[in-house]
Amino acid sequence: MLDRSIKTAAGDGFAAMEVCADGVLAGRVEEAVEIGRFAVVAGEEVVEKMKKMGTDFDLKTQNLWLNGEKEGN
């Protein structure tokens, strides 16, 4: 099972990406870029925490874990 802080960082990153995309579609590119930077930082935090745990970072597997679709979760 993933550490709660990893799930939180990943969730923050995904939410920020959605807001970023909505901002671009609405023509608010400057604000969207700032929010996009937050998404990148959150994503980097997830990768670093996974590395510290000695876990290989695999985006597809990570998404399954976050969605509760992986066995043992």
Query: What pLDDT is recorded for position 44?
Result: 82
Domain that holds residue 11: 4-62
How many structural domains compose the chain? 1
Query: What pLDDT is recorded for position 48?
Result: 80
Q: Are 16 and 49 in contact (CB under 8 A)?
A: no
User: Is residue 67 in some structural domain?
Assistant: no
Q: What is the pLDDT along the chain (73 residues), one digit of tens a residue?
A: 456 777 777 777 788 888 888 888 888 888 888 888 888 887 788 778 777 776 655 555 555 555 555 544 4
Query: What pLDDT is recorded for position 10?
Result: 75
Query: What pLDDT is recorded for position 73?
Result: 43
User: Is residue 73 in some structural domain?
Assistant: no
User: Is residue 68 in some structural domain?
Assistant: no
CA distances from 71 to 17, 21, 48 (A): 27, 31, 24
Query: What pLDDT is recorded for position 72?
Result: 47
